[in-house]
Amino acid sequence: MHQGDPRQAGDPVRDGDMMQGWNRAIELIEQDLTTDVEVQVLAKAALTSEYHFRRMFSSLAGIPISEYIRRRRLTAATAEILEGRTVLDVAVRYGYGSAEAFTRAFKAMHGLSPSEARLPGAVLHSQPQLRFHLRVEGNSDMKHRIEDKPAFRLIGLKARVPLVHEGPNNAIIEFQRGVDPAVTTRLLELADMEPAGPVSITDNIEEQRTEGSELDYWHGVASTKPVPEGFESLEVPPGLWVVFEAEGKFPEVLQGMWADAATEWFPANPYRWAPGPEMLSVKVEPGGTHGRGQLWIPVEREELR
């Protein structure tokens, strides 16, 4: 275990290289919006793995890469509809199987049909082209450490829930409400390693990470003990983890921890997001307005360039 890393957040050379790579990926999308581009190709342009690219894009842009590409293509297609092209011509040009399929996608974005969009006063939506810029950060200290963790298991209860990008996840809220306090007490008896206490775990997220896609959500503990009857388990192999710590107003401090990890720490350190469960350990003081949290994210080293 060690604190920090030889290349600290705010390294302008590494940050600049990272921004150039991500902007190259955006330009590849823009070269021809009428055709799909493989995410693997975009990740290569950004000098990272496809897994890390998908995770980082969602964190930085606020939407999955697949949704961004879909919106950009529909934005370009909308311009052609307004220029007078037929719905069928535009649908074929942008790879939709039929005029009906294109119209459904068009209405999902704009709330209007293509014919209604041509009427005077129609209010439409568009997805601007993203640009990644270097910002000078570092005026606040990010408490983190790198853990080289041996194999362990997660023990607890899990549910398959939809992915929600904004606002509360009601499926998770209902799942947590349904957990018997006696179950949590029993789980705490099994906890014998970090992260301590009951842990919220997300895993097995669908690769596209679109709104409504599914993930496994766990209420569990980290343990080396046998799995009692009535509980599920997940074996986690040995590997590296970055552990962020924060304390402050709840839940804003936790949201800030996720944002800082994506926008400040990963771009400035020689690690990338690795496959595996993500773990959040939270302790909230009486009253529920102040809390402390640890966020555990699996990582792997990147080669220095």
Look up the pTM and report it: 0.66
Please tell me the CATH superfamily of domain 67-117, with its number: Homeodomain-like (1.10.10.60)
The reported pLDDT for the residue numbered 305 is 45
pLDDT tens figures, 151-175: 999 999 999 998 876 667 789 889 9
The reported pLDDT for the residue numbered 16 is 54
Architecture field, domain 143-301: Alpha-Beta Barrel (3.20)
Q: Which residues of the chain have pLDDT under 50?
A: 1-14, 136-140, 304-305
The reported pLDDT for the residue numbered 248 is 78
The reported pLDDT for the residue numbered 93 is 94
Listing DSSP states for 139-182 in one string gives SS--EEEEEEEPPEEEEEEEEEEE--SSS--HHHHHHHHTS-HH
Report the C-alpha gap between 273 and 275 in whole angstroms: 7
The residue extents of the domains of the chain are 67-117, 143-301
Instruction: Report the b/e string of 239-257 with b at 16+ CB within 10 A.
Output: bebbbbebeeebeebbeeb
* Spatial CA neighbour of 193 closest among 294, 273, 286: 294
The reported pLDDT for the residue numbered 213 is 77
**Quick count: other Cβ atoms within 10 Å of Cβ 9?**
21
The reported pLDDT for the residue numbered 271 is 85
